[in-house]
C-alpha cells in the first residue's frame, strides 16, 4: 500500500489541523506556515499526488474543488482579492505529494516581484 501522505493523516484526524471547511470530497485547512495574512490549503480526500496525475475520472472532483474556492474565499472574507496556486513537482516547490490548492488572500499582490 502507498504510504499515507501528511494530508491523508490530517484528513483522517491522525494529525491536528485548523479546518476551515470540509465536505465529502475535500477538506480545507489553514497552512501551518502562512505566506499571506490568509493562507489555506484545499485538499481533495482522494490522494492524487500531483495535478499532472489527475485523470479524466477526476474531472468532477477538480470542478468541485474550483467551485469550493469561491465559497471558502467568501467565508474567509477575501473574495475581492486572493490567489490560487498549485505547485506541481519538486522543482516547482511541491513538498507534500497530495494535490492541494493554496488559497492566499489579504495581501498586496501588486507589490510582489513576480507581478502576475
Ligand atoms: P507545497 O509546498 O505546495 O507542497 O505545500 C505544502 C504546504 O503544506 C506548505 O505551504 C506547508 O507550509 C504546509 N504544511 C506542511 N505541514 C502542514 C501541517 N501540518 N498543517 C498545515 N499545513 C502544513
C-alpha cell at 77: 472574507
Spatial neighbors of 76 by CB under 8 A, at least 6 apart, are 20, 38, 40, 103, 105
Report residue 106's pLDDT band, with 50, 70 and 90 as the boundaries: confident
- Residue with CA nearest ligand 1 atom 12: 33
Q: Residue 114 has what pLDDT?
A: 55
Report residue 109's pLDDT band, with 50, 70 and 90 as the boundaries: low
* pTM greater than the 0.85 cutoff: yes
Which structural domains are found in the chain, ordered by start? Answer: 6-111 (3.30.428.10)
Catalytic residue among 39, 64, 98, 100: 100
Q: Residue 2 has what pLDDT?
A: 60
Give 85's strand partners: 102
Interatomic CA distance for residues 38 and 30, integer angstroms: 8
Give 31's strand partners: none
Q: Which residue, 111, 100, 107, 81, is CA-closest to 40?
A: 100
Residue 39 among the catalytic residues: no
Amino acid at each position: 500500500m502507498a504510504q499515507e501522505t501528511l494530508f491523508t493523516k490530517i484528513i483522517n484526524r491522525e494529525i491536528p489541523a485548523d479546518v476551515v471547511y470540509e465536505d465529502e470530497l475535500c477538506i480545507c485547512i489553514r497552512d501551518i506556515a502562512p505566506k499571506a495574512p490568509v493562507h489555506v490549503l484545499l485538499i481533495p480526500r482522494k490522494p492524487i499526488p500531483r495535478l499532472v496525475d489527475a485523470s479524466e475520472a477526476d474531472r468532477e472532483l477538480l470542478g468541485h474543488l474550483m467551485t469550493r474556492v469561491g465559497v471558502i474565499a467568501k467565508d474567509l472574507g477575501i473574495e475581492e482579492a486572493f490567489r490560487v496556486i498549485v505547485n506541481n513537482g519538486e522543482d516547482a516547490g511541491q513538498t507534500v505529494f497530495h494535490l492541494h490548492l493554496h488559497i492566499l488572500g489579504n495581501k498586496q499582490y501588486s507589490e510582489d516581484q513576480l507581478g502576475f
